[in-house]
Amino acid sequence: MPIVRVAGDTPTLFLFSSPIQKKTLTFDESRIRVLDAGERSIIVQPVANLGAGERQEIGVFFADDRAPARAAFVLVTDPAEVDSRIDVRRPEPPNTACQPTAQAPVPKPEDFVLLGYVDAKGVTTSSRKGTLDAVQGLSLDNLVAFRGTGWILVDVKIVNGPDRPAWTPREAMFVGRVGMPLRARLVAKMPGAIPPGEDGRVLAAVEVPETKADLVLTLELHGDGGRRLTIPDVRFLKPAAEDAQ
């Protein structure tokens, strides 16, 4: 993480090129003060000069779904110099909007709570082993379906047939019995194609309205050469009742 030099008698201004979610700021309040936080800026100052070898982390999530999703910095005190202004420029994403993201920033447990992805209802899960016949040389090995507050996610292990070409999943859709299909974000554990005869792991996630019933959807994974894997009857269990907590 980038190192920023701070001092107890000097504020440090962070200016971001993209809007941030100021409610997701994480830092040690006993050592760091946030004097102000806006749509694209934060002003910080340590309570006192940080000790020799002391390193304090501060992080914040951006307000959109682009990668990288979070900016984080290590704060230190250098007796000889202070950074009064830091311009935070987010790398431009590559022109591969339809390709799955290879990796995401490593989250922390508090991030899920601050962002509202986990609340008192918790997260429900269901799982199943692959029972589908291979179609177009693709088959399901296993699947775990997660459901939280306003979102669903499926963790899928796919097997590519030994006599088929390498295959890269490009798009994920959730299809219900009624309503429009939901285009999901697609994240691959490993970048690149799934070679013949091997397996790959992908995750598909999307926001959904909160309901008090189970959701049963079909997951469609589309990829190279027009090949796709269709997984029917993916069940997302209803959230736990609040009075049961």
CATH number at residue 85: 2.60.40
> What mean pLDDT value characterizes the chain?
86
Looking at the structure, tell me whether residues 154 and 214 fall in a common domain: yes
Looking at the structure, tell me whether residues 163 and 229 fall in a common domain: yes
Looking at the structure, tell me whether residues 150 and 63 fall in a common domain: no
pLDDT attached to residue 111: 77
- Per the domain annotation, does 106 fall within a domain? no
- Structural domain ending residue among the three candidates 92, 123, 144: 92
Looking at the structure, tell me whether residues 78 and 119 fall in a common domain: no
- Structural domain ending residue among the three candidates 61, 92, 123: 92
**What is this structure's pTM?**
0.55
| Residues, the chain | 245
Model confidence band, residue 133 (pLDDT cutoffs 50, 70, 90)? low
How many domains does one find in the chain? Answer: 2
pLDDT attached to residue 43: 96
Average the pLDDT over 181-204 and give the result: 90
% of the chain residues with pLDDT over 70:
90
- State pLDDT tens for residues 57-115: 999 989 887 778 889 999 999 989 999 999 999 877 655 444 555 555 677 777 777 77
pLDDT attached to residue 68: 83
Domain ranges, residue 52: 3-92
- Structural domain ending residue among the three candidates 60, 92, 124: 92
- Per the domain annotation, does 107 fall within a domain? no
Q: Which of 100, 67, 85, 131 is nearest to 224 (CA)?
A: 100
- Per the domain annotation, does 121 fall within a domain? yes
